[in-house]
Amino acid sequence: MAEWRTGVGTSGSTTGGGNTRRIAVLGGYAPKSGAESEAQIIVRRAYTFSELFVRIVANLTISASVYRLRINGANGNQSVTIPAGTSGTFEDLVNTDILVAGDSINSQYVLGATAFVITTVIAYKVEADVFQPLIGTSDGLLSGVSFGATRFSGVIGAATAVVTEADVQYRVRFAATYRNLQFVSRSNTVDGASTVRLRINGVNGNQSITVPASTSGSFEDLINTDNISTNDLINFSIVTGGAAGTLSITILTEQIDAARILGQGGVQGSDIGDGNSLFFPMESEDGFNFIESQLQVRTAVNAIAKNYFVRITVNTLDGPSTATFRVNGADSTLAVIIPASTTGAFEDLTEEISLDVDDLINHRLVTGGSAGVLRQAYIGFQMEALPPVPPLGANLPPYGQVIFNSADEENRPIYGQRIARGTDE
C-alpha cells in the first residue's frame, strides 16, 4: 500500500462566522462561497482518505464549527468539530473515506456564529494500492486571464497567470507519466475557445483541454498522457481566444505515477525585504507567517524528503538568503543558499532526510543583506513514502531481502537503507 500527504495551506485565511466555504483538497488555499463544483476535483482511480488535519490560529465564534471531506456533494465520514472560540490543531484519526474512480471531492467548513475564524492548514493522508498521487494548483484569489492572451501557471501551490514561463517552471528529478489533466473554471466570459495544456521544457505536451467560448465548469483530457523524464521542466499554460472576456483559473490537476511533488508555490505575493525570517506551509499559496507553529502540518506517513527546489524570480538583496526544510521547529540538512542579487532555480540534490508520521514540517526563508527585495515562485521537494512500519509480531522478510517502494526504478528507496537525518540548528 502506497501512502502520502495532501492538503492546502495559507499564511492565514479569515472567514466570517456563520459562513459555509468549500476548498480544493490540494493547491493554494482559496475558500469559495459559490457552487460546490468550483472546488471539486474528480479522481480517476480508487483512493482512501484519512487523518483529516486542521490548524486554526484564531477563533472568535460563539458556537462550534465543522470541517469535513465532501464526496459528490455529500458529507464524507471524516470531520472535526472546532469548539466555539477554540484554536489549535484538530484531527480525525478514526474515520476514513474510500473513493472510487469518478468521485468528485473537496473540503468544506461550516463556521459557528458571529466573529471569524483564521485557518492555515487543511490536510489528509491518502492511500492507494500503487503510488499514483494527484498534484495540482488551485485558485489563489486569481482574477483570471483576459481574451487573446498566453499565460503560465505553476504545477503546485496557488494558481498563477504569469507572462514569463520560466518563472513557474518546476524541475522534476524523477521519471513519471502524467495523465488525467483536469481544469476547473468558475467563470468564463471569453467569446472564443481557449486551450489549457501541460508544458514540458517550454514545449506543448500531449495533454490538452479545449474550453468552449463562454463556458465554465470542469474539463478533462482522459485520453492523452505525457512521459516526463528526469530534469524536465514542467508547468501549465492557458491560451485564451476571442476578442473579449475573461477566463478564471480555479483548479489545475494531474495524476502522476511516481514520487510525489510537494511544496509551496505561487508567484502572486509581495516582495520580501532584507533581514526577515519567514515560514511557509506545505502545498500552499505563497503567503508567509512569522510564527512557525501556525503553519506546521503533521507528515502522517513515513517518508524521505529530497531534491529541494527553490525558484527565485526577483532578487535585489545585497546579501545571500537561505531556504530550509524544517522538521519539528528545527532546520534539517535539506537547504539551499541563494546568492545576493541572483535569480533562477536553486537545488539541493545531495541531502536526504527521513520523516516520521508525527513529524511537523514546513519551510523557512531567511533573507540576507541590508537592502533590496526577493520574491520566490517555488519552495518544493520530492517526497517518497517508505513502507509502513510492520506491527510487532508481523511476518518480516528474510534477512537481506530487498523491498522496493516507488514505481520507478531510479527512485526506489530500499527498506533499511541508511538515510541521512536532519540535524538541529
Q: How many CB atoms lie within 10 A of CB 9?
A: 29
Confidence of residue 141 (pLDDT cuts 50, 70, 90): low
Is the pLDDT at 119 greater than 90? The verdict is no
Contacts of 339 (CB under 8 A, 6+ apart): 320
Domain at 136-257, CATH from 2.60.420, 2.60.120, 1.10.287, 3.30.700: 2.60.120
Torsion of CA 423, 126, 233, 405, to 10 degrees: 70
Using CA atoms, how far residue 284 sits from 39, 80, 344, in Å, is 15, 21, 20
Whole-number pLDDT of residue 386: 74
pLDDT in tens, 358-388: 999 999 999 999 999 999 888 889 988 776 6
CATH of domain 261-385: 2.60.120
Torsion of the alpha carbons at 166, 344, 296 and 270, rounded to the nearest 10: -80
pLDDT, tens digit, for every residue of 298-350? 999 999 999 999 999 999 999 999 999 999 999 999 999 999 999 999 999 99
Q: Do 136-257 and 261-385 have matching folds?
A: yes
**Least confident window among 71-80, 119-128, 288-297, 347-356:** 288-297
Is pLDDT at 287 greater than 70 in this prediction?
no
Options 2.60.120.40, 3.30.70.270, 3.40.50.2300, 1.10.10.10; CATH for 2-131 is 2.60.120.40
Structural domain boundaries of the chain? 2-131, 136-257, 261-385
Average pLDDT of span 273-289 = 83
* Residue-wise pLDDT tens digits, 24-49: 998 876 667 678 998 999 999 999 99
User: Are 218 and 40 spatial neighbours (Cβ–Cβ below 8 Å)?
Assistant: yes
Which among 215, 245, 218, 220 is positioned nearest to 149, based on CA atoms?
245
Give the global pTM. Answer: 0.88
263 CB-near residues (< 8 Å, 6+ apart):
156, 157, 282, 283, 309, 363, 378, 379, 380, 381
> pLDDT value at position 408?
41
C-alpha dist (Å) from residue 346 to 72, 171, 272, 277, 378: 41, 10, 18, 19, 10
Residue 407: pLDDT band with limits 50, 70, 90: very low
> What DSSP assignment string belongs to 348-385?
EEEEEEEE-TT-EEEEEEE--SSS-EEEEEEEEEEEEE
Q: Is residue 10 predicted with pLDDT exceeding 70?
A: yes
pLDDT category of residue 248 using cuts at 50, 70 and 90: very high
Measured CA to CA, the distance from residue 354 to residue 327 in angstroms comes to 10
Among 182, 158, 154, 151, smallest CA distance to 170 is for: 154
Query: What is the mean pLDDT of the segment spanning 122-148?
Result: 86
pLDDT tens digits along 197-234: 999 999 999 999 999 999 999 999 999 999 999 999 99
Q: For residue 191, give the DSSP letter.
A: S
Give whichever of 15-19, 78-82, 116-120, 400-404 has the largest mean pLDDT. Answer: 78-82
CA-nearest of 351, 322, 323, 348 to 423 is: 351
Give the whole-angstrom CA distance, residue 108 versus residue 24: 9
The predicted model gives 61-75 an average pLDDT of 96
